[in-house]
Amino acid sequence: MKISARNVFDGIVAAIKPGPINSEVDIDLPGGVRIVATVTHDSVAELGLAAGRPAKAIVKASSVLVLADGAGVKLSARNRLEGTVSAIVQGPVSSSVTIALPQGASVCATVTHEGLLALGLKVGDPATAVFKAPAVIVGVDA
Amino acid sequence: MKISARNVFDGIVAAIKPGPINSEVDIDLPGGVRIVATVTHDSVAELGLAAGRPAKAIVKASSVLVLADGAGVKLSARNRLEGTVSAIVQGPVSSSVTIALPQGASVCATVTHEGLLALGLKVGDPATAVFKAPAVIVGVDA
Amino acid sequence: MKISARNVFDGIVAAIKPGPINSEVDIDLPGGVRIVATVTHDSVAELGLAAGRPAKAIVKASSVLVLADGAGVKLSARNRLEGTVSAIVQGPVSSSVTIALPQGASVCATVTHEGLLALGLKVGDPATAVFKAPAVIVGVDA
């Protein structure tokens, strides 16, 4: 698999909550991080997803927002990965922020240049990557 | 809260429609604009969302598309914020368009450079920011 | 309609699966490609969507990821458009990849610069555009 998405996490399906159109799939990564994905009901069947089976959680960098200071707020987004900023690349409109996770993986977010300024982040600072469950694509080895 | 998302709107929860996996949350902003968010059923409970309570609607600029002329078309996207272009920043691939809303807030969209050319917009022109309900993250003060 | 979204596909509604909050809408494009969209139940009613009626599937380039080699993996994303890379534009953070479809249309994706490097794609190579059903906005002529 060669894919443009910068964030591909290997884990194990922990649970599936079926719904009529969308189902929720929980994927546990090594080190205790849980990723929540919503995928169509049909995809759960097509991929043969079931608790205990390996699965990949795939997230585009453009779907990830960055929280530099989450004090005082609770967000509906189900996925929050806490780590340390390991790289920042600035462009005229978009910038990318890479956050190294304590579990060993890292997560990449693209944000607007102004969003980056608002965060005031530099390499080494703590930060949290946040993304919604519908932003996650689930993959399995064929 | 320091967050990369360029669009954070403070409002009041107007209504919640619960579903088995996803629920719909309507948030009214000052001036009569309504934002529709779909969040997981679990998030509604975790955030203690209920009609009449304050909430933030948070939207990444990359989730927002821009409509320069909506004549002759109806879109499924639930959120449409009409205003006036207040700023345009052009990059080689991505460009950003900021639309000032008559209610006082503004909304930022990142679009492709070609998308910007297709719009033919300049500062001062009317434009509409469009985004889908699943693109909205709901936040509440902790 | 003047819209920033780079991907607007004209087709015919093939089927609608209603759900309590979200409904699934299948749109068939000329040449046998099917686009799957999830939109709110309310939008289906507001747009008067029904099998056999014309509809547009609208997708932002930032919602599209690119697969250069899909061997060995199955993805939950419902939309996969196979074609040939017709253009690549590189920026410092974001790059865009345009994929010409055999049916005559093309699809544009914005990916991170590193994502582009990981793909190793050049013009003329086969590639697949992948996007999730919630990323699709459905439009109808008013």
CB–CB of B119/B71 below 8 Å?
no
Cα C72 to Cα C75: distance, rounded to the nearest angstrom: 10
Q: Do A110 and C112 touch (CB under 8 A)?
A: yes
Q: Which structural domains are found in chain B, ordered by start? A: 7-59+133-139 (2.40.50.100), 61-131 (2.40.50.100)
| CB-nearest partner of A20 from C20, C66, C94 | C20
Whether C61 and B110 lie within 8 Å, measured CB to CB: no
pLDDT band at B70 (very low <50, low <70, confident <90, very high): confident
- Give residue-wise pLDDT tens across range A100-133: 999 889 999 999 999 999 999 999 999 999 999 9
> B 42-81 residues with CB below 8 A of A?
42-44, 46-47, 56, 58, 60-62
List, as ranges, residues 120-139 from A with C-beta within 8 Å of C: 134-135, 137-139
Measured from the Cβ of residue B45, the count of other Cβ atoms closer than 10 Å reads 11
pLDDT digits (tens, 9 = 90+) for B79-116: 999 999 999 999 889 999 999 999 889 999 999 999 99
Q: Could A97 and B138 be called an inter-chain contact, meaning their C-beta atoms sit closer than 8 Å?
A: no
DSSP chain B: -EES-SEEEEEEEEEEE--SSEEEEEEEPTTS-EEEEEEEHHHHHHHT--TTSEEEEEE-GGG-EEEEE-TTEEES-SEEEEEEEEEEEE-SSEEEEEEE-TTS-EEEEEEEHHHHHHHT--TT-EEEEEE-GGGEEEEEE-
Q: Does A114 touch chain B (CB under 8 A)?
A: yes
CA-to-CA dists, residue B129 to B32, B84, C3, angstroms: 16, 10, 10
Q: Is C62 helix (H, G, I), strand (E, B) or coil?
A: helix
Asked if A121 and A113 count as a contact pair (C-beta separation under 8 A), the reply is: no
Nearest to B8 by CA among B75, B105, B100: B105
pLDDT > 90? residue C104: no
What is d(CA C113, CA B62) in angstroms, rounded to the nearest whole number? 16
Please report the pLDDT score of residue B72 as a whole number: 84
pLDDT at residue number C29: 95
Q: How far is B141 from chain C (nearest CA, A)?
A: 26
Q: What's residue B51's pLDDT?
A: 97
Distance in Å from the first CA to the final CA of chain A: 11
Nearest CA-CA partner of A135 in A72, A73, A81, A70: A81
From A74's Cα to the closest Cα of chain B, the distance in A is: 5
Model confidence band, residue C66 (pLDDT cutoffs 50, 70, 90)? very high
Distance (Å, rounded) from C-alpha A99 to C-alpha A119?
13
Sheet harboring A54-59: ordered strands across?
A: A34-40, A22-28, A7-17, A54-59, A136-141, C73-75
Q: What is the pLDDT of residues A4-46, one digit of tens each?
A: 999 999 999 999 999 889 999 999 999 889 999 999 999 999 9
Share of chain C above pLDDT 70, in %: 100
pLDDT tens-digit map of C67-103:
998 888 999 999 999 999 999 999 889 999 999 999 8
Q: What is the pLDDT of residue B71?
A: 81
Strands A73-75 and B126-131: unpaired
Indicate the average pLDDT of chain B. 95
Summarised one tens digit per residue, pLDDT across range A133-142 is: 999 999 999 8
- How large is the average pLDDT for residues A52-72? 94
B62-73 mean pLDDT: 91
Q: How far is C88 from chain B (nearest CA, A)?
A: 10
- The distance of B71 to chain C (nearest Cα, Å) reads 6
Average pLDDT over residues B9-27: 95
C39 touches chain B (CB under 8 A): yes
Angstroms from C92 CA to nearest CA on chain B:
8
pLDDT tens-place string over residues C38-59: 999 999 999 999 999 999 999 9
In which band, very low, low, confident or very high, does the pLDDT at B1 lie, cut at 50, 70 and 90?
confident
Q: Which residues of A touch B134 (CB under 8 A)?
A: 132, 134
Mean pLDDT in residue range A59-75: 93
**With bands split at pLDDT 50, 70 and 90, how would you rate the model's confidence at B4?**
very high
pLDDT at B61 > cutoff 90: yes
What's the order of all strands across the beta sheet hosting B65-69?
B106-112, B94-100, B79-90, B126-131, B65-69, C2-3
The predicted structure's pLDDT at residue C142: 86
Task: Choose the closest CB to B6 out of A72, A97, A114.
Answer: A114
pTM: 0.94
pLDDT at B69 over 90: no
Residue A70 has pLDDT above 90, yes or no: no
- Is C70's CB within 8 Å of A1's CB? yes
Mutate: best of B76, B89, B113, B119, partner C, most C CBs <10 A: B76
ipTM of the complex: 0.92
A115 and B CB contact within 8 Å: yes
Contact A21 C38 (CB under 8 A): yes
Closest-CA residue of chain C to B116: C4
Residues in chain C closer than 8 A to B38 (CB atoms): 21-22, 40
> pLDDT tens-digit profile of B110-134?
999 999 999 999 999 999 999 999 9
